[in-house]
């Protein structure tokens, strides 16, 4: 309790120099439930202190639940486009990440970082006015729920409290796998948010149907699977950027197959190979598995959320090995590399 109050007091102290100015809240990758809800809460806190803000992201929102979250709760995000007025902002805030996308690196390199709030492992040396990184909570949304409770902010926002509380509850639910891996702090946060949230809307957001495209990608991954003992490897082929969230959804689905405790699904998305690792194994540690098996993993450019098994590999070298723009040839080259890394590195016996 005392430490939470200290962090809120510190956040207020560090943000007050920006009063009357604007801060750019930057999300990394394709915005997910945790990052969207945390950004919304951060925006509300800044606004209560007289600080304007905009929530900016680079990758498109594609997961059907996240799209429903934005639509049903009226949440406004801004997707980056060339010509964005960075000069209107005095600093940036990072939520649910510790550095912005590489596409924004040049534009943001001279802009101070006002705050970093995250629940993943600390990545390198961080510089910001305010830093709150906690590995003992299930989501960044949990941290922001604590801030809001200490500030008693939701009680004063009236109708604005509902979308914030509902979004945060959804963020906690998703990042804790429907509370299966939730910590005590996550349950306490949910109990507080429940007073202000719309549970009926939360249910609608959480029960979105899969799009036909997502189902097709999951089916293709299932058709193109290889099994090595209890490890299942599946190729999703070439996937459009707007459908990239189908890759982790395919991994979640395939992990339900009997006799399988670890799944990796990969697909070609733009200039990268997007990969999603899911495991119930007591032996496999996602971070070590990924780093040992794929030394070219893009950590600095993608965030490397190894604790959730999401990572990227650069596609450049494979394009050089494939002929022209032949997508089938490119997929074959990528498949050959991925299968070789899995089979030879770890010596799985194909089942």
pLDDT, one tens digit per residue, over 100-149 is 988 898 999 999 999 999 998 887 788 999 999 998 999 999 999 999 99
- Please, which residues bridge with residue 115 across strands? 93, 130
Is pLDDT of 194 > 90? yes
The answer to whether residue 3 scores a pLDDT higher than 70 is no
Residue 302 scores a pLDDT above 50: no
Tokens of 128: 């910001």
Give pLDDT, residue 254: 93
Whole-model pTM: value is 0.79
Mean pLDDT throughout 295-303?
52
331-337: long-range contacts (C-beta < 8 A, 24 or more apart)?
Answer: 331/235, 331/237, 331/238, 331/268, 334/235, 334/266, 334/268, 334/273, 335/224, 335/235
Q: What is the DSSP string of 266-318?
A: EEEETTEEEEEEEE--SS--HHHHHHHH-TT--STTT--BTTTTEEEEE-HHH
Give the single-character DSSP code of 58: S
Closest of 293, 292, 296, 298 to residue 310, by C-alpha: 298
pLDDT at 351 over 60: no
Chosen CATH of 212-346 out of 1.10.3720.10, 3.40.50.1100, 3.40.50.1980, 3.10.310.40? 3.10.310.40
Looking at residue 145, its pLDDT comes to 97
Residue 4's pLDDT is 66
253: helix, strand or coil: helix
pLDDT of residue 321: 67
Q: Which tokens go with 279? A: 């495991």
Indicate the domain borders of the chain. Answer: 2-206, 212-346
Which pLDDT score, from 0 to 100, does residue 229 have? 86
CA-wise closest residue to 246 among 205, 272, 215: 215
Give the pLDDT confidence of 283-293 residue by residue, as tens digits.
888 878 888 88
The H-or-E segment that residue 10 falls in is: helix 2-15
Q: Fill in the DSSP letter of residue 28.
A: -
Token output for 184: 């005590």
Residue 300 has pLDDT above 60, yes or no: no
CATH number of 2-206: 3.90.1640.10
Cβ atoms of 89 and 26 within 8 Å: the answer is: no
- 306-332 pLDDT, tens digit per residue, is 445 788 888 877 776 665 567 788 888
Q: Is 19 left (phi over 0), alpha (psi -120 to 50) or beta?
A: beta
As a whole-number percent, the residues of the chain with pLDDT over 70 amount to: 92
Per-residue pLDDT band for 199 (boundaries 50, 70, 90) equals very high
pLDDT, tens digit, for every residue of 65-103?
A: 999 999 999 999 999 999 999 999 999 999 999 989 888
The mean pLDDT value for 33-58 works out to: 97
Token pair 């939730």 is at which residue?
A: 182
In the predicted model, what is the mean pLDDT of the chain? Answer: 88
């Amino acid at each position: 309790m005392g430490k939470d109050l200290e962090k809120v007091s510190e956040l207020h102290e560090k943000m007050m120099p920006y009063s009357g100015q604007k801060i750019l809240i930057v999300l990394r990758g394709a915005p997910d439930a945790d990052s969207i809800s945390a950004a919304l809460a951060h925006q509300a806190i800044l606004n209560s202190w007289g600080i304007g803000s905009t929530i900016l992201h680079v990758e498109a929102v594609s997961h059907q639940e996240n799209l429903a979250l934005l639509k049903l709760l009226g949440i406004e995000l801004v997707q980056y486009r060339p010509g964005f007025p960075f000069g209107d902002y005095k600093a940036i805030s990072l939520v649910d990440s510790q550095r912005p996308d590489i596409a924004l690196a040049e534009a943001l390199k001279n802009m101070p970082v006002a705050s970093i709030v995250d629940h993943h492992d600390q990545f390198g040396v961080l510089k910001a006015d305010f830093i709150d990184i906690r590995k003992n909570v299930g989501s960044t949304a949990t941290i922001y729920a604590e801030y809001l409770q200490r500030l008693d902010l939701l009680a004063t926002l009236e109708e604005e409290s509902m979308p914030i509380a509902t979004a945060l509850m959804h963020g906690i639910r998703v990042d804790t796998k429907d509370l299966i891996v939730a910590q005590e702090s996550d349950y306490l946060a949910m109990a507080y948010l429940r007073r202000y949230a719309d549970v009926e809307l939360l249910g609608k957001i959480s029960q979105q149907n899969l799009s036909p495209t997502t189902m097709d990608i999951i089916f293709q991954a299932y058709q193109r699977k290889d099994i090595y003992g209890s490890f299942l490897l599946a190729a999703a082929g070439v996937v459009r950027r707007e459908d990239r969230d189908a890759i982790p959804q395919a991994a979640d689905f395939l992990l339900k197959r009997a006799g399988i405790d670890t799944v990796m699904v990969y697909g070609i998305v733009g200039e990268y190979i997007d990969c999603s690792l899911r495991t119930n194994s007591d032996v496999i540690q996602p971070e070590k598995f990924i780093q040992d098996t794929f030394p070219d993993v893009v950590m600095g450019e993608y965030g490397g959320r190894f604790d959730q098994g999401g990572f990227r590999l650069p596609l450049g070298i494979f394009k050089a090995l494939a002929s022209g723009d032949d997508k089938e040839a490119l997929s074959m080259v990528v498949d050959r590399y991925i299968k070789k890394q899995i089979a030879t590195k770890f010596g799985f016996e194909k089942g």
